[in-house]
Amino acid sequence: MRAPAKSKLIKVTPPRVLAGGFALIIIIGSFLLNLPAASADGQSMRYIDALFTATSATCVTGLIIVDTGVHFSLFGQIVLLLMVQLGGLGFMTMATWFTLALKRRVSLRDRLLLKESMNHANIDGIVRLIIRVFLYSITIEGIAALYFMLRWSQEMPLGKAAYFGLFHSVSIFNNAGFELFGGFRSLTPYVNDLGINLVSMMLIFFGGIGFVVISELIEFPKTRKLSLHSKVVLSTNGILVLAGAVLILIFEFTNAKTLGSMPWDTKLVASFFQSMTLRSAGVNTLDIAELRTATQFLMIVMMFIGAAPGSTGGGIRLTTFAILVGAFIAMLRGKEDVVLFRHRLPAKDIYKAVTFTLTAVVFLSFATMLLSTLQDQDFLKILFETTSAFGTVGLSMGLTADLTFAGKIVMICVMFIGRVGLVTLAFALQPNPKKELYRYPEGKIIIG
């Protein structure tokens, strides 16, 4: 029997494995959520709703069609929690941890997959990083869960408080945004609670800066140094959070439905919380639908930027935004090189940032136009929802619960692509690449 031509074989590449792995988790999760045991009333939910919820959990988005704390049984909530943890840390991270626990060797192929899933520069030290990621994540989630348990034990039985603490700690750290309080309220009842706000912001911060940066921060007392990547992520994140908080405070200061009636200290904390959650968290202490249009549009811009590479968040990423700003400043100053923290960036990184951003703009524009034809809703609300899905943020102005069948399909695709990544998905779908054997002559065109 004649063997098939090599060029026709489907090559198993890291992007294809990652995209396929996320899709498999979503499919398995959707069937589990569709079981009668997953619903509090013992009735199976519609499969499209189960698929939507499974996608939202695995892609750590947090957009919901049904009330998580009311509709799902304990079994259904645990399924959601497992999908959130798998989606946040990455299924390759979890698989590697189990491989190491069984004292098996991690193959070169697995290391390449881990490098791709973590957005790491190379495979050197990738297994050590995975071990740290798992231990750091469990430690951070555990500390926050303990605080939440102690705080909520004042309002509910200790067992329920412990479960609520664990669920919300995992959900917030992984930037999923699922909550169990009911009524689609998120954390709005705790807008005046400084402790819950600070602990939640701590979880959002660590979940959004990426595991490489977390590892370097924890090792900093010993090494006394940070990589260029960590410096860019931390500085960009700090600037965006501060700028967002100031603008939200200005825009909402006199809005009686949000910050207007609050004391000064609560206004400041609420402004910073809303700005921090835009990094991709999905929990909120103010009613998003009651915010002014200027604030909602600001949130769209911030959600589009998103979190850091290798984190539990989405968007075009903090580093991409930093490179674009650096290129913009360099062009205005007439400089040829883009320099960040006294390091010159290679041209390929700038091309990659521009390509990724333009691809994201085109994709998001298409998804928004498509959803506009399927939903009879205000355009800003549709743009807000699609951007929230793409950035895996999970904030909502109330559109998700009213989505049509076709609208749910569109949003499922947006959430999946937002989590897997446009570039990763493009590499996964493209045919086996061929090396160009020639280059065209250079040409010049007039710009501006």
Q: What is the mean pLDDT of residues 240-244?
A: 96
Distance from the Cα of residue 180 to its chain's centroid: 20
Residue 443 falls within a domain, yes or no? no
Residue-level pLDDT at 51 = 96
Residue-level pLDDT at 134 = 79
Confidence tier at 435 by pLDDT (50, 70, 90): low
Confidence tier at 169 by pLDDT (50, 70, 90): very high
Which range, 1-5, 298-302, 333-337, 344-348, has the best average confidence (pLDDT)?
298-302
Indicate if the pLDDT at residue 103 is higher than 60.
Answer: no
Domain range enclosing 273: 12-429
Q: Which residue has the higher pLDDT, 422 or 343?
A: 343
Residue 97 falls within a domain, yes or no? yes
φ/ψ of 27, rounded to 5, equals: -65, -45
Residue 434 falls within a domain, yes or no? no
Residue-level pLDDT at 395 = 92
Residue-level pLDDT at 128 = 73
Indicate if the pLDDT at residue 294 is higher than 90.
Answer: yes
Show Cβ contacts of residue 262 under 8 Å, excluding neighbours closer than 6 positions.
Answer: 191, 192, 270
Residue-level pLDDT at 155 = 92
Residue-level pLDDT at 105 = 61
Confidence tier at 407 by pLDDT (50, 70, 90): very high
Indicate if the pLDDT at residue 42 is higher than 70.
Answer: yes
Confidence tier at 1 by pLDDT (50, 70, 90): very low
Residue 23 falls within a domain, yes or no? yes
Confidence tier at 420 by pLDDT (50, 70, 90): confident
Residue 87 falls within a domain, yes or no? yes
Indicate if the pLDDT at residue 141 is higher than 90.
Answer: yes
Confidence tier at 9 by pLDDT (50, 70, 90): very low
228-232, 366-370, 443-447: range with lowest mean pLDDT = 443-447
CA torsion angle 202 208 209 214 (round to 10): 60
Residue-level pLDDT at 86 = 86
Q: Which residue has the higher pLDDT, 175 or 149?
A: 149
Q: How many domains does the chain have?
A: 1
Confidence tier at 322 by pLDDT (50, 70, 90): very high
Residue 440 falls within a domain, yes or no? no
Indicate if the pLDDT at residue 57 is higher than 80.
Answer: yes
Q: Which residue has the higher pLDDT, 428 or 29?
A: 29
Residue-level pLDDT at 408 = 95
Indicate if the pLDDT at residue 98 is higher than 60.
Answer: no
Residue 420 falls within a domain, yes or no? yes
Q: Which residue has the higher pLDDT, 434 or 8?
A: 434
Residue 441 falls within a domain, yes or no? no
Indicate if the pLDDT at residue 151 is higher than 50.
Answer: yes
Q: Which residue has the tokens 């041209």?
A: 347
Question: Buried b / exposed e across 181-206, counting CB within 10 Å, b at 16+?
Answer: beebebbbebbebeebbebbbbbbbb
Residue-level pLDDT at 82 = 92
Residue-level pLDDT at 352 = 87
Rounded to two decimals, what is the model's pTM?
A: 0.87
Confidence tier at 99 by pLDDT (50, 70, 90): low
